Amino acid sequence: MKRDFIAITDYSSSDLQNMLDLAIDLKKEWKTGGNQPILKNKVMSMIFQKPSLRTRVSFDMAMRHLGGDALYLSPSEIGLGKRESIADVARVISGYVDIIMARVFDHEHVVELAKWANIPVINGLSDYNHPCQAMADALTIIENFGSMKGLNVTFIGDGNNVAVSLLHICMKLGANFTLSAPEGYDMLPQAVELGQKIALETGSKIHFTRDPHEAVKNAHVIYTDTWTSMGQEEEAKKREAVFPPYQVNEKLVNEADKDAIVLHCLPAHRDQEITNAVADGSHSRLFPQAHNRLHAQKAIIVNLLKGI
């Protein structure tokens, strides 16, 4: 049966660890002469309902590095669910290419796409989660600390799609997760419940606090993201009034573990959720993290197409 990559919670801890080990191997191979063309003649169709830099370029390059190819379908091009039903799009594309990556507004749309496609579907961000980002985040944390086990990962800001997948990968790989969000911007209860269930098996801990200073105490990883996600633009002004106490600045970073690293999925809004001093400072791993999208996604694609 074909598999999809829709959510971190669809995978076991050991499957995720194996994919991350593969990402490390593929990264090493790429840096020492290039990858083997194991995806020769394989083509990915990339469906975008929203803008992108990292997801669009890193998936395209991941396919090329492995000997395959990628096809970009822009938001205006196919009108997913508008010009044509998702079920029909899925069945048509399945006859042309080998794998689909989709960035959608409504999470149910990527689930529906996966249901009707008879080729693997990768979720390249929905309003609910961002699992490929979480894989790159885990890879970056592992490269810095050797493992995620026992680390304290703190997310400061909106309990959004990026935070959901980060919570879930922390739970799967044995890290503790703290969220500090202002009132009204907590994580969806169903995402928290899923995290709590995994925590019972792995021993990870989840903590919520409105106080960002309490949240970063003993943190090994400080993570933040935009205050206003794509699709929420009309709320931007309201959010800009609420979120400033949750800015990741030098004062806050200095309250964390002295070796703490700072992550951000990007795009960053400098001097809103993160200051220039932090984004470009010694704790920042923002660009290695963005580059790890390439390596983590190679492993996801190879896992789905080759079963490795």
Q: Which stretch binds ligand CP (CB under 6 A): 51-59, 169-177, 216-224, 244-252?
A: 51-59
By the rule CB under 6 A, 22 interacts with ligand CP: no
By the rule CB under 6 A, 55 interacts with ligand CP: yes
**What is the smallest separation between the CB atom of 162 and ligand CP, expressed in angstroms?**
8
Comparing CB distances to ligand CP, the nearer of 206 and 266 is 266
Comparing CB distances to ligand NVA, the nearer of 283 and 293 is 293
By the rule CB under 6 A, 54 interacts with ligand CP: yes
**What is the smallest separation between the CB atom of 156 and ligand NVA, expressed in angstroms?**
13
- Cα 142 to Cα 120, 137, 165: the distances in Å are 27, 9, 16
Q: What residues contact residue 209 under an 8 Å CB cut-off, 6+ apart?
A: 178, 179, 180, 215
By the rule CB under 6 A, 242 interacts with ligand CP: no
CA angle at residue 120 from 119 to 122, to 5 degrees? 140
Question: Residue number with the shortest CB distance to ligand NVA?
Answer: 229
Binding site for ligand NVA (CB under 6 A): 125, 160-162, 225-226, 229-230, 265
Q: Which of 62, 125, 248, 304 binds ligand CP (CB under 6 A)?
A: 125
CA-to-CA distance for 48 and 61, rounded, in angstroms? 16
CB-based contact 93:67 (threshold 8 Å): no
Helix (H) or strand (E) holding 46: strand 43-48
Comparing CB distances to ligand NVA, the nearer of 17 and 226 is 226
CA-to-CA distance for 75 and 72, rounded, in angstroms? 10
Tell me which residues are annotated as active site.
103, 130, 133, 225, 265, 293
* Positive or negative: CA dihedral 288, 268, 129, 302: negative
Q: Which stretch binds ligand CP (CB under 6 A): 9-17, 47-55, 71-79, 251-259?
A: 47-55
The amino acid present at 46, given as its one-letter code, is M
Assign 3-state DSSP to the chain and report helix, strand, coil percentages, each to 5.
45, 15, 40
Which of 107, 135, 137 lies closest to 121 in space, CA to CA? 107
Q: Which residue has the tokens 């008879």?
A: 118
CB-based contact 202:171 (threshold 8 Å): yes
The partner in contact with residue 160, picked from ligand CP, ligand NVA, none with C-beta cut-offs of 5 to 8 angstroms by kind, is ligand NVA
Q: Which residues pair with 179 in a beta bridge?
A: 155, 208
**What is the smallest separation between the CB atom of 162 and ligand NVA, expressed in angstroms?**
5
Comparing CB distances to ligand NVA, the nearer of 246 and 302 is 246
By the rule CB under 6 A, 164 interacts with ligand CP: no
Comparing CB distances to ligand CP, the nearer of 4 and 225 is 225
Q: Which of 3, 266, 277, 288 binds ligand CP (CB under 6 A)?
A: 266
By the rule CB under 6 A, 133 interacts with ligand CP: yes
CA-to-CA distance for 20 and 68, rounded, in angstroms? 21
Comparing CB distances to ligand NVA, the nearer of 125 and 153 is 125
CA-to-CA distance for 218 and 227, rounded, in angstroms? 24
Q: Which residues bind ligand CP (CB under 6 A)?
A: 52-55, 125, 133, 265-267
